[in-house]
Structure 1
């Protein structure tokens, strides 16, 4: 569940559980070995650690800037770097944007691609100032959130959301409203970025489940005990989009299917929340009224109808704000 993983082939029947295993460090002595052992050790202990050191240095250095300047730095860097050093991502983003906005002119597509780079850069640099952004209510507008904490206080709630704008600001705002949240996620590949996101999340009061299949039972117990679970229902898995469906055949292999199963098993209500960027470091946090799935059992036919319903909540957000979508530079699955 979460940010950066790859889907198995889409099938309606069973969800293929994903088991998370952190990268195993090769023995340090392999630096002095030969062949593939040395290559693996050099990659892990030297190349990756230089990248890790740079990430952590930038994370703490950007904390010294005002929030707006920090965000602007990421935007400017991404707009410069993307067409020069991330051409593969730019090609995939172009293909996805054209699929979502086939009527776009060349000029409109260029604007969307510039906004895509801007959004990606801001989101990454803003990890240094997430709490400052979330706590500064001058930067935030709220739509549909009045009474949200009270409406989700009695009994389990699954909050569903999207990776748009800066979703870290979104959950931080929900915690500020008095809503206790638990998140399951897919870790970033880089060890440094995994450390950074966990530091930001736990430091702001977000509870985190272990990644992958090991989170399913704890998530089920959490809901059975009346807790609140946050699940992002848009997904990129090893560079391929698997949610929302975007014209694909409905399937149960992603987080939409997971939410449907958990809600059916526990009777949890479902609440859509998402955030969009109004420009720079200004955001609007949206929430819809909580709802329950229609009466029925957990048969495959009902679950397919459930994911169609959930997809109808998620997909319009992605289509409305594709340039702010984190996974827009993932590939659309073959039709």
Structure 2
């Protein structure tokens, strides 16, 4: 009982900074509220040592010769971008209503429309890069509501807000795990669309190169695409320089070959995006950590 009380108090304490920023900025315009949280997270990334150390460990793995000053600026830029992304997810209904901010392009969009018109499902794969909810916003506006897979947050305050935001972006929302997988298969077989972020470490995945280093990667999306003959389309919501609008790029569907080759094709696609604009990727994922034996 004491342990549970301490954990509850700690969860409340950790949530206070975010709640404070959201409360203080509540009466401002959407863009100003978004920038406020972005600035707060950027400050933390630049000046809070544990966050900076974790960030630098990952960045130096990929960019070993990057100067310290450049790394510090990259940390702050990434923090600002991720703070804005978090705010937009928390307020996803309001975010999606801003249709003039989304600029879709790329051949994958036509492939998804063809799948919808033929009554087939589809798998949209992306990563924690740019604003991934912009992808679902574009699809929903075009009659292709797209569900999502998400990982439950241990802090119930973050979990409640995050779940509500993701649900506003499109249904169904499924948790990782066996029950979520069964629901995912049923949804796809019924002609549904699903978005999956493939850049998180997956303990039961395959070791595949990502940004030049082996990383445990789930091949489930490719396996489902092959089994049910579904298009697997990489898509990204690139935040423009103004911070408020997005180029939503739908790449060519990944050719059906085998699960490892298809998953590697996605890793290569996302790696190219990150190398071109590293500030838009969330470097705090511990992507290359090995699970404990």
Distance 1:109 1:248, change over 3 A: closer
Is 1:228 aligned to residue 200 of structure 2? no
Worse overlay, 49-58 or 174-183:
49-58
Counterpart-to-counterpart distance in 2, 1:117 and 1:57: 17
Task: Report if the CA contact (8 A) 2:21-2:37 is conserved.
Answer: no
Distance 1:244 1:57, change over 3 A: farther
Offset of 1:70 from its aligned partner? 0.8
Partner SS, residue 310 of structure 1: helix
Offset of 1:265 from its aligned partner? 1.6
Is 1:216 aligned to residue 178 of structure 2? no
Partner SS, residue 264 of structure 1: helix
Consecutive unaligned residues of structure 1, counting only runs of 5 or more, are 1-29, 31-37, 295-301
Larger Rg: 1
Task: Report if the CA contact (8 A) 2:127-2:199 is conserved.
Answer: yes
Find the partner of 1:275 among 214, 218, 237. Answer: 237
Distance 1:233 1:109, change over 3 A: same
Counterpart-to-counterpart distance in 2, 1:79 and 1:55: 13
Task: Report if the CA contact (8 A) 2:174-2:180 is conserved.
Answer: yes
Is 1:110 aligned to residue 72 of structure 2? yes
Find the partner of 1:169 among 119, 134, 145. Answer: 134
Counterpart-to-counterpart distance in 2, 1:243 and 1:132: 37
Q: CA RMSD in A?
A: 2.9
* Alignment match, 2:259: 303
User: What's the TM-score, normalizing by structure 2?
Assistant: 0.83
User: What's the TM-score, normalizing by structure 1?
Assistant: 0.73
Q: Deviations over 1:127-164 (max 9, x none)?
A: 34433333324433222276465233121211101111
Find the partner of 2:152 among 173, 184, 187. Answer: 187
Task: Report if the CA contact (8 A) 2:22-2:33 is conserved.
Answer: no
Task: Report if the CA contact (8 A) 1:133-1:139 is conserved.
Answer: no
Find the partner of 1:130 among 72, 75, 92. Answer: 92
Counterpart-to-counterpart distance in 1, 2:125 and 2:138: 15
Counterpart-to-counterpart distance in 1, 2:64 and 2:16: 41
Q: How many residues are treated as equivalent by the alignment?
A: 283
Partner SS, residue 76 of structure 2: helix
Report matched runs for 1:67-78 at 5 Å: 67-78=30-41
Counterpart-to-counterpart distance in 1, 2:245 and 2:46: 26
Consecutive unaligned residues of structure 2, counting only runs of 5 or more, are none
Partner SS, residue 166 of structure 1: coil
Distance 1:119 1:237, change over 3 A: farther
Offset of 1:194 from its aligned partner? 1.1
Counterpart-to-counterpart distance in 2, 1:97 and 1:165: 17
* Alignment match, 1:286: 249
Find the partner of 1:263 among 218, 225, 229. Answer: 225
Partner SS, residue 192 of structure 1: helix
